[in-house]
Structure 1
Amino acid sequence: MSTAVIEAHGLIKSFGSTRALAGVDLGISAGESVAIMGASGSGKTTLLHVLAGITRPDAGRVLFTPPAGGPVEVSALGESARSRLRRESFGFVFQQGLLMPELTAVENVALAAMITGVPRAEATQRAAGWLAALGLQGMEDRRIGELSGGQAQRVAIARAQVTGASIVFADEPTGALDSATSSEVMDALLWSTTGQGRTLIVVTHDPQVAARCSRTIAVRDGLVLGSAVAA
């Protein structure tokens, strides 16, 4: 296995009296696709959010090692530094996409690049390239409401990739889709991440989605119970 691109050491996180993470240790290698599975309330989404720097842990450390440079302790960064890290190094795909309905597909994707300082023309060119690569050529000027659920998720995948993100974090990315469309979205996610040498971390309830990943991590009561490598 290659060097870990992201590591967790002793992660603890509580919300009031609820212990969401109870001392999580894990390492994920560059180029892996990892599914995090567990029942509702098991802590899997909190784990994803802490790894991605959305939420800070109460204790423990998250270390991210970018392609160039030494490890960054994500959990020690302030809010502005974590926001910058998320914009520049991480990509996100959520169940509902969280796309901006007033913008077109290409504008949604280009905006992610523009926020990092890429000029509009270049950002739009990159966005159009990713949309075409994901099977959406000719749909660049459609607004999100004019796309199917699967098409909208592919726009979200393009948005997650347009900045060259090292890791894509996906939280139930197929949860609102039928089985056939779910399979197509997973094809797009895997091609655009591990297919390009990048890393995918996905929270899912769906064993079929998990089976597509190279490794599955089981979470219960805020603890990692085990890790299984795909056959």
Structure 2
Amino acid sequence: MNDSVLEARSLTKSYGSTRALAGVDLTIHRGESVAIMGASGSGKTTLLHVLAGIITPDTGTVSFQPSTGTPAELAGLSEAARSRLRRERFGFVFQQGLLIPELTAVENVALASMINGVKRADATAHAASWLAALGLAGMEDRRIGELSGGQAQRVAIARAQATGADLVFADEPTGALDSQTSQEVMNALLWSTTGQGRTLLVVTHDPDVAARCSRVVAVRDGRIISSAVSA
């Protein structure tokens, strides 16, 4: 479809005798938010990692259509090319944030742009603007250990957006947070992605988080068993 940003076809992935993905077809449309839900061991995190080019499937294809530039089939790219794609066009938010504790909030966010060749001063200014937009003005120089869990996740969200990512992948982004903070983080995540015309893919076990997304995809035993637009 013309509005698709990511198309997966016939994905399989096994770890020894364990079948993590068993023939998955999934289309992610530009500008939508998709929640992938399933029990532990259902294959949802493996699916996210394959869609993001972190791991390659045993069989099947993942096609990425960027907002600008040439479409790419992820499995056909070299590891270096996939790494570049993840740096420049994809953003990531994980449960624990994976921020660098020795760096300040603004340095953590700016680093993503600097790796892509942006000058330090420009990257820092851009990072500070994202932190301010996400309610962290005045906290730029705090190290990660000086922030609350919700604040640290907003730093991670800012980092994911700093490079202008077409698509943000979030793996249990609220898993370590209380319900109020979880809601605040989802507000920030949705505002900074679909609210800006970008696309969000979330793996979650929380039905309240999933309900905030525009579509919920249920996974069981490595297969998609349902895909429904949220009410």
After TM superposition, the score normalised by the length of structure 1 is 0.99
Residue 123 (str. 1) matches residue 139 (str. 2): no
| Deviation (angstroms), 1:2 | 6.0
Give the percent of matched residue pairs that are identical in Structure 1 and Structure 2.
78
Q: CA deviation at 1:71?
A: 2.1
Q: CA RMSD in A?
A: 0.8
Where 1:101 maps in the other structure, the secondary structure is: coil
Tell whether the 8 Å contact from 1:36 to 1:204 is kept in structure 2 after alignment.
yes
* 4+ long deviations beyond 4 Å: none
Match of residue 77 from structure 1: 77
Is 1:193 aligned to 2:203, yes or no?
no
Contact 1:2–1:30, Cα closer than 8 Å, also in 2: no
Letter in 1 for 2:11: L
Deviations for 1:38-94, whole angstroms, at most 9, x for unmatched residues? Answer: 000000000000000000001000000001134210121111000000000000000
Please tell me the residue identity of whatever aligns with 1:93: V
Q: Deviations over 1:113-150 (max 9, x none)?
A: 00011110000000000000000000000000000000
Code of the aligned partner of 1:202: V
The number of residues matched between the two structures is: 231
Deviation at 1:27, TM superposition (A): 0.2
2:95 alignment partner in structure 1: 95
| Amino acid in structure 2 at the alignment position of 1:110 | A
Partner of 1:170: 170
Q: Which residue is equivalent to 2:203?
A: 203
**Secondary structure at 1:6's aligned position in 2?**
strand
- After TM superposition, the structure 1 = structure 2 runs for residues 23-102 of structure 1, keeping only pairs within 5 Å, are 23-102=23-102
The gaps in structure 2 that reach 5 residues or longer are none
**What is the CA-CA distance between 1:226 and the residue it aligns to?**
1.1
Is 1:147 aligned to residue 143 of structure 2?
no
Separation (CA, whole Å) in 1 of partners of 2:2 and 2:193: 16
Matched AA of 1:126: H
Partner residue of 1:16?
16
2:185 aligned counterpart, secondary structure: helix
Q: Secondary structure at the match of 2:218?
A: strand
- What are the Cα deviations for residues 88-120 of structure 1, in whole angstroms up to 9, with x where unaligned? 000000000000000000000000000011110
Unmatched tracts of structure 1, length 5 or more: none
TM-score relative to the length of structure 2 = 0.99
